[in-house]
Structure 1
Amino acid sequence: MLRSSGRRALLQESVIRIRRLQMRGAITGLLAAVAIGSLSAPVLQQEKGGDDRTGPYDVVQGWPQPLAFAKPGYIWGSTGGIFAESPNRIFIANRGELKLPDKLPPNFTGFWGSFGEQATTPTPEFRNCIVVVEGAGRAVESWTQWDYLFEDGRGPHSVLMSPYDPEHNVWIVDDIHHQIFKFTNDGKKMLMALGVRDEPGSDATHFKRPTDIAWLPDGTFFISDGYGNTRVAKFDGNGKFLLTWGTRGTGPSQFNTPHSITIDRNRRVYVSDRANNRIQVFDENGKWLDAFPNIQQPYNIRISDDQFLWVFSGPLDKMLKYDLDGHLLYAWGTHGTAPGFFWAVHEFGADADGNLYTAEVFGGRSQKFRPRAAADSTHIYRPQPLTPKSASMSTQTGIAPPVFDAPVAGAPGAEKFSGAWKLVKAEPEVTAGRGGGARGGGIGGPYAETIFNQAPPSVVLTHAAGKVSVQIGSASASYTLDNRTTWSTPGDVNALKTRAHWDGAKLHLHFKQGMNWGRDVLSLDGPTLTIVRDLESGGASTTRTMTYTRTS
């Protein structure tokens, strides 16, 4: 028994020794393989120091250069959008020019945000709204022939190209005028105009402050619509309306400011539901698939070429990277106006070299970031490449450019609106305060007490000799019924501007002051006056229906 036990113990010890030798050999082989691998492939060295304020990039100082086309004493305005066609051709959607104060503070960096004031606060002069810069940031083109499109608005909201378009046509979204334009790549021809200027709606031919566009390979495109509407609209490649989905609310397929839109390779449509702090996912026919909650105000969203979802969060001033199931993978960004910091990036893009471009709506600038050599490549945003450019652009057929302020016929019947009117009902009701949202409307400051009153308790209308006067409290506005714009103080960008026309049944009154816009549509039914009032200010949009009864 002892001999048998001793043999078993000796055998077990031998097995253990053999296993130890085998493990040592395996480890030695693994170390050798690692050593060989280290010789055949570079090792990513972690940088020393730094605080990651610009993530995996270095900011390109002095980019872009001062706008050479600007009027003396003026600079770049609020920057709505940016798109890099190539490393040497970058489109900037510039919301007009801003006049500099006579005395500049020592911390002025060349952009409005360095004053500590949002670049959307002052009223711009609408010049050089679509600008092309080369790689070093020097402006080489300005499509001034189209500046008139943005008059009395707030400038272009975003600039885009379809990645599937071999002609690299340029699309511009104009939210405040409720229109979208498509141009040839050189800007010489307008190819398409969607929406009706200053006439909001939610049908096949109208928008209410659209925001962004995304495409399928066959040219079908989707529009997020927008600040006023709460829907996505789908069109074929020729601009024919196909379908729409979305209502106001917080449930699935409901929106509160659908502000950006993008599509992955599986044709899933991602919509930035900005004021609901989430991103919703749909199939191409509007079927709800998923939602990614708790993303603070996603201003702009894009699917990268390697199929990740990149987001810029406005309140956080950060770039966020998610997988397509909504899991956060990486984030970077620092709030501020110093180079490399962010103040409300409204649109971002990248070129084929990996350079990142950002457009700041509050900072009033665009920036260029160059990938650092030692950066983790998975942290670099790379867009879907554009289809190689064709040479057939010269054969494209343009459309007749729109003509604004064109005179209209007289206004027989408009005199019936004359009289004093008292408010009976307003839907939705007006609550105390002037804040944003469905009730407040976003009109603040002195404007809320004047012609922009949310629901005027009384209105006096006077029609005579083709002119209409509107009296609200102590404020008044005068209109000429010929569809032409009238300035209360000619040449003053902050003056009240009015424009009106009579369509034979309804009276349309448009008014603008500073960065506030309004439109009233008046109709009569016996003794009852109905006014549908649209008020717009920045990101706020309100529609209210008011009924009045005649008092004299």
Structure 2
Amino acid sequence: MARFWFCVAGAGCFLALLVLHSRIRDSPVLREFVFQVSWRTEEILYRLDVGWPKHSEYFTGATFCVAVDSLNRLVYVAQRGENIQKVLVFTEDGYFLRAWNYTVDTPHGMFAASTLHEQSVWITDVGSGSYGHTIKKYSSFGDLVQVLGTPGKKGSGLNPLQFDNPAELYVEDTGDIYIVDGDGGLNNRLIKLSQDFMVLWLHGENGTGPAKFSIPHSVTVDSAGRVWVADRGNKRIQVFDKDTGEWLGAWNNCFTEEGPSSVRFTPDEKYLVIAQLNLSRLLFVAAPPVGSIGYCSVISSIQLADQVLPHLLDVSGKTGAIYVAEIGARQVQKYVPLNSYFSSFHS
């Protein structure tokens, strides 16, 4: 009799698993359950490089953003504070090279755009002074090359361009620029500009529906032509076609507690690396195949100490190393791929 009831119980568990499997795609509650369970069996992909940088005393302010020049193996860090150098330059090995402070007021986001013909650094400036509400392009040594926006004047205009708290940008090798303008303030929009700064397309409305935003905070582009936006206030990532601006879908099932503050791809594009500011957490999410957005699936995570507050991050296209700007800890930390993952992504 005991064996009979044991078999009945086993059959019941098997049927329950079948039901769970059949309904998982349609039930947010069940998807969240599987998401939580997966955290206990997740794969470990990265480890902290405790020796980077060689000398951390150069961090003297609140480190808001970081950008990697993979071609020249340089790491740029922008920090806020009074009477400090706003931009620091390190090698990927951790050696300090130089600093500059010329026309940067209150940096928020940055991007290193380097080709064989040009090496430049773009910085979004959210200050209220004469240099604020702009996006600036610098040479690698800090010489101001170009200013987008109306210096010292916030706004929503497109001709001439105006910004209000531009959060971050992404520059393609073609010169096309993707800007998320809206870390609070007037605007909640995603703008694509051509290399000569003409508006190619725009999504620019505050709201919760498709192609609307609440604090769009980070943007990146993959090789399949998809634009990924960390829609932080709405606790989701939205995806667009880079050529037409068409809305392709959204992820929100991974962000019930906290919205994404930063998003970047690993060099092999197997994973999106996502920072969650107030949870002090990094997520590694499986990238979907071309033609499907699907659901967010967390493969791995790194839980940082309380109040570290990872704000924005960048990834080296050569080594796969992740650099995280932490405004709470007032530092940038480097995470390197484990040997098993490093070998697979170079093979």
TM range (shorter): 0.7 to 0.9
What amino acid sits opposite 1:180 in the alignment? Answer: I
Which structure is higher in RCO with an 8 Å CA cutoff and minimum separation 6? 2
Alignment of 1:379-528 (within 5 A): none
Pick the aligned partner of 2:284 from 320, 327, 330.
Answer: 320
> What SS does the corresponding residue of 2:268 show, helix, strand or coil?
coil
What amino acid sits opposite 1:330 in the alignment? Answer: I
Q: In 2, distance between residues paired with 1:78 and 1:54?
A: 32
> What SS does the corresponding residue of 1:298 show, helix, strand or coil?
coil
CA contact (8 A) 2:65 2:108 kept: yes
Shift of 1:85: 1.8
RMSD: 2.9
2:78 aligned partner: 93
1:304 aligned partner: 266
Residues 222 and 84 of structure 1, relative CA distance in 2, 3 Å threshold = closer
1:81 aligned partner: 65
Shift of 1:237: 0.4
Is 1:59 equivalent to 2:48 in the alignment? Answer: yes
2:220 aligned partner: 262
CA contact (8 A) 1:81 1:159 kept: yes
Q: In 2, distance between residues paired with 1:63 and 1:259?
A: 26
What amino acid sits opposite 1:221 in the alignment? Answer: I
1:336 aligned partner: 305
Question: Identity of aligned pairs, percent?
Answer: 28
Q: In 1, distance between residues paired with 2:74 and 2:154?
A: 34
CA contact (8 A) 2:56 2:331 kept: no
Q: In 2, distance between residues paired with 1:330 and 1:57?
A: 12
Shift of 1:243: 3.5
CA contact (8 A) 1:310 1:322 kept: no
Larger radius of gyration: 1
CA contact (8 A) 1:261 1:271 kept: yes
1:218 aligned partner: 174
1:133 aligned partner: 90
Deviations 1:143-200 (A, max 9, x none): 13x1x431xxxx311221236674121111112321111112232x322101123311
Deviations 1:57-104 (A, max 9, x none): 332224324466x6xxxx521111112224852111122xxxxxxxxx
Q: Which runs of 5+ in 2 are unaligned?
A: 1-39
> What SS does the corresponding residue of 2:228 show, helix, strand or coil?
strand
Residues 194 and 234 of structure 1, relative CA distance in 2, 3 Å threshold = same
Residues 280 and 138 of structure 1, relative CA distance in 2, 3 Å threshold = same
What amino acid sits opposite 1:376 in the alignment? Answer: Y
Shift of 1:379: 9.3
Structure 1 length normalisation: TM-score?
Answer: 0.48
Residues 149 and 371 of structure 1, relative CA distance in 2, 3 Å threshold = closer
Structure 2 length normalisation: TM-score?
Answer: 0.74
Residues 138 and 303 of structure 1, relative CA distance in 2, 3 Å threshold = closer
Deviations 1:217-276 (A, max 9, x none): 421111001122111112110223333212111011110001011112232211111010
Q: Which runs of 5+ in 1 are unaligned?
A: 1-50, 96-123, 383-552
Deviations 1:293-332 (A, max 9, x none): 1323111111333234332222331223232324314121
CA contact (8 A) 2:267 2:320 kept: no
Structure 1: 4+ residue segments shifted above 6 A: 51-54
1:186 aligned partner: 141
What amino acid sits opposite 1:92 in the alignment? Answer: V
Pick the aligned partner of 1:234 from 165, 168, 192.
Answer: 192
> What SS does the corresponding residue of 2:78 show, helix, strand or coil?
strand
CA contact (8 A) 1:167 1:185 kept: no
Alignment of 1:12-161 (within 5 A): 55-66=44-55, 76-86=60-70, 88-95=73-80, 124-144=81-101, 146=102, 148-150=103-105, 155-161=106-112
